[in-house]
Amino acid sequence: MIKLHHSPTSTCSQKVQFVLEEKSVPWESMVVNLKGGENFLPEFLKLNPKGVVPVLVDNGEMILESNNICLYLDDKYPQVPLMPDTPKRRSDVRTLLQWIDEHIHHDISACTYPIAFRPDVIRIYDTPEKLEVYISKVPDAGKRQLRREMMTKGIECAVFKTGVTRLASVLERLEALLQNSSYLVSNQLTVADIAYSPYITRLDHLSMSFMWDDKPAVRDWYERLKSTAGYEKGMRTFFVPAVIEKMGARGKSARPAIEAVMAAD
């Protein structure tokens, strides 16, 4: 049976969970406590030296990187296809996935950490020295510096402002794509829609859904995603109500800063 090392609060884990459940593939949940730093323990770093989830283990073979895992699962379990049937549309899906890898995932993190995660981190690591120990565990030097900036400056950091601006632009592009189809690539649910669903959900949980108040196609698409079996079983089942409530409250407090960034763009 497939084993998935994942975390309920991880957007990258959520998209893989969505695919598994949409395809009705049996899998074993191996929860990794990110808050407790289990992803930085030696035994996990043997699975993924980057120290990030998810990691899919299929008959002893490890598959890394969430978008890649989603495509792997679609190849292996074609009974419920999640890729279009033409080369052009498959190319369109891969382009949308590339947008995620290039900046969308980064931009969602740049909103989530300063708004939602930072208060708890600085409460636990309550001196500069303790905070630096926490930050130093991030293996990648670039991500380590990014984490340092977000934890020390919060919503005043430059990456937060850049993230909000670029996410607003992404929503504009999604609205345009959805003008003539139910999903991002034609009228078929694909890996592209599934890969974007955790990021739209994260904005929703951060009380940032006002960003698509003037985008009816995005709003309706999001509702369609939430009505799928994959979303219900692979995402909603793993939501932690207390975490969502906290994210929502902190997002509401940050709304003036978010709106100021959007107005200045």
Which CATH number do you get for residue 179? 1.20.1050.10
Q: What is the mean pLDDT of residues 106-110?
A: 96
pTM exceeds 0.75 for this model = yes
Q: What is the mean pLDDT of residues 224-239?
A: 98
Residue 106 sits in the same domain as residue 191: yes
Q: Which domain holds residue 215?
A: 87-264
Indicate whether 265 pLDDT > 80: no
Q: What is the mean pLDDT of residues 129-147?
A: 91
Count of structural domains, the chain: 2
pLDDT of residue 236: 98
Among 76, 97, 119, residue at a domain's last position: 76
Residue range 57-93, pLDDT digits in tens: 999 999 999 999 999 999 999 999 999 999 999 999 9
Residue 123 sits in the same domain as residue 65: no
Residue 81 lies in a domain: no
pLDDT of residue 36: 83
pLDDT of residue 254: 98
User: Which CATH number does the domain housing residue 29 bear?
Assistant: 3.40.30.10
Model confidence band, residue 3 (pLDDT cutoffs 50, 70, 90): very high
Residue 94 sits in the same domain as residue 64: no
pLDDT of residue 139: 85
Residue range 145-197, pLDDT digits in tens: 999 999 999 999 999 999 999 999 999 999 999 999 999 999 999 999 999 99
Alpha-carbon gap, residue 101 to 145, rounded angstroms: 18
Residue 82 lies in a domain: no
Residue 61 contacts by C-beta under 8 Å, 6 or more apart in sequence?
none
Residue 61 sits in the same domain as residue 161: no
Three-class SS of residue 31?
strand
Alpha-carbon gap, residue 185 to 90, rounded angstroms: 9
Residue 178 sits in the same domain as residue 197: yes
Give me the residues paired with residue 58 across strands: 61
Residue 64 sits in the same domain as residue 112: no
Model confidence band, residue 138 (pLDDT cutoffs 50, 70, 90): confident
Starting from the edge strand earliest in sequence, which strands make up the sheet with 2-6, in order?
27-31, 2-6, 55-58, 61-64
Residue 57 sits in the same domain as residue 116: no
pLDDT of residue 137: 87
Give me the residues paired with residue 204 across strands: none
Residue range 8-62, pLDDT digits in tens: 899 999 999 999 999 999 999 999 999 888 998 999 999 999 999 999 999 999 9
